[in-house]
Amino acid sequence: QVVERCLELGAASARYISGSMASPSLPEEVLREAENTWGGLDMLILNHIGQSGFTFFSGDVGHVRSLLETNFVSYVALATAALPLLKESEGSIVVVSSIAGKIAGPFTASYSATKFALDGFFSSLRQELIIDKVNVSITLCILGYINTESAVRAVSHVIPDSPAPKEECALEIIRAGALRRRELHYPGPAIGSALLLHSLAPELLESLLRSSYRLENVRR
């Protein structure tokens, strides 16, 4: 369906590979397909997550390990496999993350940990590429509440805010990668305000977050 839609919108060609990002072999398969089909790679957009609830931390350490494998380690594996092609094209890596990777709120302990890990790894890698004079940009996308089906299903019973449109968000992600921006904040005003308040008064921000949720709807 995605391929059909891409072609309808005017793409010259579109291909897909199906598989689980928990598989250690999939990153190499994806990059081999890109090289064989197009002869290279201009932009790698990392945007996949494992299943995670919006609830109190249950103590399930196994789930934390599994989520780190999908939400973090597979991102590193894909980026590592793609770097030789991206160095040739002087291309871009776009990492889709979350405000939960900058500000830790309640009910997202495992998910938030994986997003903080993305910031740490790719922010460090960006500096190493600069030191080595490698012209590959890294854009970290800090997203708020977006009206994707999975996000609305997971948090709409707890978060009363209206989600931002996914179509506009997708365009902003592509634009940020093409412009080789360091970070994208979307929706901008909400994310920018939260990050500023977090740096100035983190306890106040945390209190506001807790008071804004419908806590009676949070399942333990």
136-148 in b/e form (b: 16+ CB < 10 A) is bbbbbbbbbbbee
Q: What tokens were used for 194? A: 């939260």
97, 140 Cβ separation under 8 angstroms = yes
Is 1 strand, coil or helix? coil
- Among candidate residues 16, 75, 111, 213, the one labeled active-site is 111
Contacts of 29 by beta carbon, 8 Å cutoff, 6+ apart: 17, 19
Q: Is 145 considered catalytic here?
A: no
CA–chain centroid gap for 49, Å, is 8
Instruction: Tell me the one-letter amino acid at 93.
Output: I
Just list the catalytic residues: 111
